[in-house]
Amino acid sequence: MELGRVGIWTFTFDLQPSAEGAEAAAELEALGYGTIWVPEAVGREAVANASLLLSATSSMTIATGIANIWMRHPMAAAAAWRTLNEAYAGRFLLGLGVSHAPSVDGMLGERWDRPLERMGSYLDAMDEAMFLAAQPAVPPSRILAALGPRMLELARERAIGAHPYFVPVEHTAIARERLGPGPVLAPEQAVVLEADPEVARTLARSHMAGYLQLPNYANNLRRLGFDEADMEGGGSDRLVDAIVAWGDEEAIASRVQAHLDAGADHVCIQVIDPDATALPREAWRRLAPALL
């Protein structure tokens, strides 16, 4: 599957009318970005959202980053996965993840328990699901949200690779070692186009604060050597600078290159903009020459 060197990760398509999102997706394709990644939480349904973006583009990959396995039956996931890849010539990458206990227990009324086992059984059910419809010309691809060693191993064995989120470059090196040389490694990288350290870190902390309350991310950072003090108040300067790349276009490009040098195959950037509800189209345009 062709992901390209750099892609775009964003939830802001959810917040716009579909027609505006389609226009922006077409521009991202024209700029040369290889993949658009869309999340799933309390906005648009991820597969339907991917379908809208696939219809607006002609060659780039559209990926779910990440579709929550607790939100659909594996047979439905398998059918959607095959349907979109047949219709759009293998351009749909199904990213799957186990989400977080507060979301699953609180909003979905499910029990977030034994996530690794749950993911394994979910993939088994997908692979065994009947699908009596036109098949994709090429077997479809899936990728797993993976942070810890055992989920990375599952991503190596049962998917094309891993899509880590909210990670520093150090994690990319560790993930590549765990995955080995073959599987795809596609980390997300948050970025702030702002050269003033105080302004940039303030904006970065507004993005990071909620994630630091989620055990999956906090535990991963502890494995990487960050402590409780680093995670207070939206993050210490050390943690902010590790998670969010800030500065001018060259600084952002340098961080992306650091991930690639550490073993990433593809880096998807998430622009953190002062207006969190708008498509950051100007930032995407500014960054394209430096990144692509």
pLDDT in tens, 138-195: 999 999 999 999 999 999 999 999 999 999 999 999 999 999 999 999 999 999 999 9
Can you tell me which residue has the tokens 């998917």? 159
Sign of CA dihedral 17, 18, 24, 28: positive
Query: What pLDDT is recorded for position 175?
Result: 98
For residue 218, give the amino acid letter: A
Stretch (H or E) spanning 7: strand 6-9
CA distance readout (Å), 54 to 21, 58, 87, 180: 11, 7, 9, 31
Is residue 130 pLDDT above 90, yes or no? yes
Mean pLDDT, all residues of the chain? 95
Query: How sure is the predictor about 101, in pLDDT bands with cuts at 50, 70 and 90?
Result: low
Closest CA to 29 of 54, 1, 59, 52: 59
Read off the pLDDT of each residue in 50-70 and give the average, rounded to a whole number.
Answer: 97
Average pLDDT over residues 112-135: 94
In the chain, what are the domain boundaries? 6-189+252-291
Helix, strand, or coil (residue 227): coil
Answer yes or no: is pLDDT of 107 > 70: no
Element (H, E) at 86: helix 74-87
| For residues 214-229, average pLDDT | 96
**CATH superfamily of this structure's domain 6-189+252-291:** Luciferase-like domain (3.20.20.30)
Across residues 129-141, what is the average pLDDT?
Answer: 96
For the segment 76-95, the average pLDDT, to the nearest whole number, is: 98
- In this prediction, residue 41 has a pLDDT band, given cuts at 50, 70 and 90, of confident
SS3 of 38, please?
strand
User: Taking 70 as the threshold, does the pLDDT of residue 256 lie above it?
Assistant: yes
Q: What's the whole-model pTM score? A: 0.96
Helix and strand element counts for the chain (H, E): 12, 11
Q: Are 191 and 175 in contact (CB under 8 A)?
A: no
Q: What pLDDT is attached to residue 1? A: 81
* Helix then strand then coil, % of the chain, to nearest 5: 50, 15, 35
pLDDT band of 134, cuts 50, 70, 90? very high
Give the span between the Cα atoms of 229 and 117, in whole angstroms.
32
| Token duo for residue 13 | 């398509």
The model's confidence at residue 240, banded by pLDDT at 50, 70 and 90, is very high
Q: Once rounded to an integer, what is the mean pLDDT over residues 78-85? A: 98
Res. 108: pLDDT tops 70 = no
- Token pair, residue 135, equals 């098949």
pLDDT value of position 111? 74
Give mean pLDDT, residues 215-241.
97
Mean pLDDT on 63-87? 97
Tokens found for residue 7: 């892609």
**In what helix (H) or strand (E) does residue 85 lie, and over which residues does it extend?**
helix 74-87
